[in-house]
Chain A
Amino acid sequence: MKIKINPYIKYLIIENIYYILIAVLLVVSIFVIPSLMLNTYSKNADNISVLEKELQEISSKKNALLFLSSTSSKNIDEYYNLVSSLIPETENYFTIIYSLNNLSESTNFNITSYALNLKESTGNKISIQVTGVGNQQEFLNFLKEYNLGGGRLITAESIKLNSEEFAGITLKLNFYSQKASLSQQGSIDYQKVLNKIDKIKDKIKFNFQSNANEEEIVIEEYPTKTSPF
């Protein structure tokens, strides 16, 4: 059955055919254009954010390296050697004994024996039971300096102080080793990292300096150990 269209309506449709075509295109574009454009916009925004993070990381590295190359007093090997001596790549018992000896000399707290605590040692942590002799001030000096004073990172998970037992006090100290990884997690401000190491270095330097100053006095008070064995 043929649909009968009023001639006037037919005339109006023909007269407005461009508007009708535009309307159809518009309906299609309403569904296509905004989603396409917004999709492109959000993709670009994601790419920009990823690139900015990468660039921040790269710039941070570049600036840190430029800073190191522009100052004659600092070089990357010095920083690398310092962190590597604090936390060596592999465990080295000699450096443990050497750092305890350093501590003993700088604080006057005389370490008399060491014993490996296998139960509490792990792959990258060596727990050592240390027994030492000293007066309250010497013991407190030791507690003040044991973290970095020996040239290695040392921690003690708990410390008991008994004012009556300074002679023959026993401490459990932890030494760490860790293979330096090359993986990068998150963005790192390398300049901040170098500043942190500078602070650590200052502490160690301070201890070494105080060692040098105290050396003469120490010799008079009690014989210091020059050999770790």
Chain B
Amino acid sequence: MGIRLKIFTGFMILAIMLLIAGFISIHEFMNIGNYVQKLLDDNYRSIEASGTMVEALEREDSGILLLLMGNWEEGRKILKEGDDLFNKGFSSAENNLTIPGEHKYVERIKQDYNIYKKTWERPIVGTDKEGNFEWYYNKSHQMFLQIKESVKQLMEINQETMYKTGSDLKNRSQRAVMPGIVAIIAAVVFTLLFNYFINFYIAKPIVHLTRGIEEYNNTGEIFKFTSETSDEIGRLTNAIKEMLQSLTYK
């Protein structure tokens, strides 16, 4: 292989190392962006929806208490608002099923809520339920706790996935940064190695050759130095040697 090709290969290797490292880093950084978006789209929206549903359920529980105390108008108003808020949260969760098995949690919430809703949809004020706190604690409140637990489970599964995605993000960021660090270290080591080879196989023979010619001029003695390579330097050394030999014999 000729000197030009050797030097070109050296620089090409250096360029390839840096280019690939750059490409991988960019690719991983773009992935991080996608992951953040995924984190927001997939999990944060469901967690927010769960929070809305919990808030709605708590309002409805308060509404039932107001009805029990005979405050029909205020109670029905809060229950209506709570129901609207719950449906809004539920609809958001239902349209954002991104985790395997998440649909089962949503389905359970739907079933539990339908049962719960039946307890307060029927009249309370003016019936035997009014002021009946035993009915409230044993039935209505128990159902409230049950559905709240189902919503919390949905929230937890999303939080767990969000934590996992967050941990993945940490790994992704390392995967994005490390190629750059490795490329810098590799490039430094490679440059030193490249410099050593250039010095040993190109610069050093030229120095030896120059000294040999100078010595020939001074003493008329042909140098004994031989090149290890068969590239341009090797051929030049042999050519000069032959030339000096022919000059000597003339």
A and B: partners? no
Interface residues of chain B, those whose CB is within 8 Å of chain A, are none
